[in-house]
Amino acid sequence: MLSKHHWWRDAVIYQVYVRSFLDSTGDGIGDLAGVRAGLPYLKKLGVDGIWLSPFYPSPQHDHGYDVADYCGVDPLFGDLAEFDLLVSAARRFGVKVLLDIVPNHCSSEHPWFREALAAEPGSPARARFHFADGRGPDGSEPPNNWHAMFGGPAWSRAGDGQWYLHMFTPEQPDWNWRNPEIPAEFDRVLRFWLDRGVDGFRIDVAAGLFKHPELPDSDDPEADARTRDSVNPLAWNQPEVHDVWRHWRSICEEYRERDGRERLLVGEVSVPTAREHAQYVRPDELHQAFFFDLLSAPWDADAFRKVVSEAMQDIAGTGSTVTWVLNNHDQVRTVTRYGEPVPEGSGLGAARARAAALLMLALPGAAYIYQGEELGLPEVVDLPDDVLTDPIFRRTGSRARVRDGCRVPLPWSGQASPFGFTSGAEGVRPWLPQPEYFAEYATDRALADTRSFWHLYRDGLQLRRELPQLGEGDLRWLDTPPGVLAFVRGDGLVCAVNFGTAPTPAPVSGTPLLASGPCPAAGVLPGSTAAWWIADL
């Protein structure tokens, strides 16, 4: 019997960055058994599902986003038997499991790419990728002027003089999706994991895959590579990509018809406008796509209102629901991004991050929480150069876009590193060093302190489950003074956020149901604070 409840439409999914979640083997690197051990914690928090970062066999040049085998588990993280145990345990806890799939590129150690390097120009093996002759009299110049997202040219030269395309790093060659072998191979990969019981996939670089068939020069190659989320229109958002998502959606529907369980496709879609974003979540394509505009919006009431309004108009208008995010493994931690450059949890950035969390959880649609956000972790900004592992740093020499600071392993307990993250032998340390101040953010302390970030998230998630006004649906804006944002959900649930630092009159009277900070008096909303009320409007 087919389920009538579309669980994904208002789900809250927790992103598990596996290597930084919990280490069960004592080698300083998180693993699948650690995720399984953490399920009671996640169940207590109240999330509906987890998204696992890549754990496939990989040389780890980009921490698993360089996949050498799409149907296995890297020994760093366990094996297929451990994966099966994780899926079974998650099902017992009522927690969905989403895998991160990487269809735009693979590892340079993938057997097909190694075969391509050994093959002749023009061979079927090379046709699975983008190989091309170079320019200039001796072919010593790249085939076009494209830049890689992680710095440098988007082309590297093979031993026989041809060049191959990689939109990220040379260790991540791009697949040629115009070759029918590639979609057929990914059909096999999807079915392999669906047959093992997963509930869906987070799709890396979902606006990528297809490149302009003629591989022409870009009009502004520097702009194409200026930021992590910039878009080269010749290599991104090509119209053929929508046929792939229609086909993948049909595979998910096939499995749903077998057993009534809906499988989810959520895409990492980096496109310039909400209207283009909406094209990816039409009824026969992806179920969801991350809406990054909320994450990138400045802390400003007008900016947030514009972002939310556009999303509700263009994305929810397709029949899908908006998928809200405030952070992920590629972004500066929310506490730091909102104005707190030092690790003091009572500062302005922390107050704003708490308010943003309540705002996000009150919005219609789904929400994704990056691990550690529920602890209020700040960005680790003082990692020394010699421990940085991000390929962006290796390729550019710049720390400006380095992502290691948001990937430092979680603190679980205790007063000193490794804070319960690993129980390894003396001298085994977490793969990235944890600062001393992480003791203030450890989960045992957070659970014991009812004023912590963790309790705010837990209470918000619990009310989101209990209150019919929250989750899927619509919103109505209320008139507010400058610097304040307020909207109504359903039958009288009001969410208001004071973006300023001075107190302001609350939009409704009475004691808040939940507030991101202390509300000292009825009818007052302190600065940098969000609150929920049930009101008779």
Are the C-beta atoms of 509 and 523 separated by less than 8 Å?
yes
Tell me, yes or no, if 48 is annotated catalytic: no
The one-character DSSP state at 92 is H
Distance, CA of 101 to CA of 190 (rounded, Å)? 9
First CA to last CA distance, the chain: 40
Tell me, yes or no, if 373 is annotated catalytic: no
Check residue 406 and give left, alpha or beta (phi > 0: left; psi -120 to 50: alpha): alpha
- Spot the catalytic one: 160, 254, 436, 474: 254
Q: What are the distances in angstroms from CA 60 to CA 63, 67, 107, 395, 434?
A: 4, 8, 9, 15, 21
Going by C-beta distance under 8 Å and a sequence separation of 6 or more, which residues neighbour residue 160?
120, 121
- Spot the catalytic one: 10, 48, 82, 204: 204
Alpha-carbon Rg of the chain, whole angstroms? 23
Distance, CA of 534 to CA of 467 (rounded, Å)? 10
CB atoms within 10 A of CB 40: 11
Are the C-beta atoms of 95 and 86 separated by less than 8 Å?
no
- What's the helix, strand, coil split of the chain in %, to 5? 30, 15, 55
Distance, CA of 420 to CA of 412 (rounded, Å)? 5
Is the preceding omega at residue 409 within 30 degrees of 0, hence cis? Answer: no
Q: Nearest to residue 224, comparing CAs of 330, 166, 146? A: 146
Q: Give the catalytic positions in this structure.
A: 204, 254
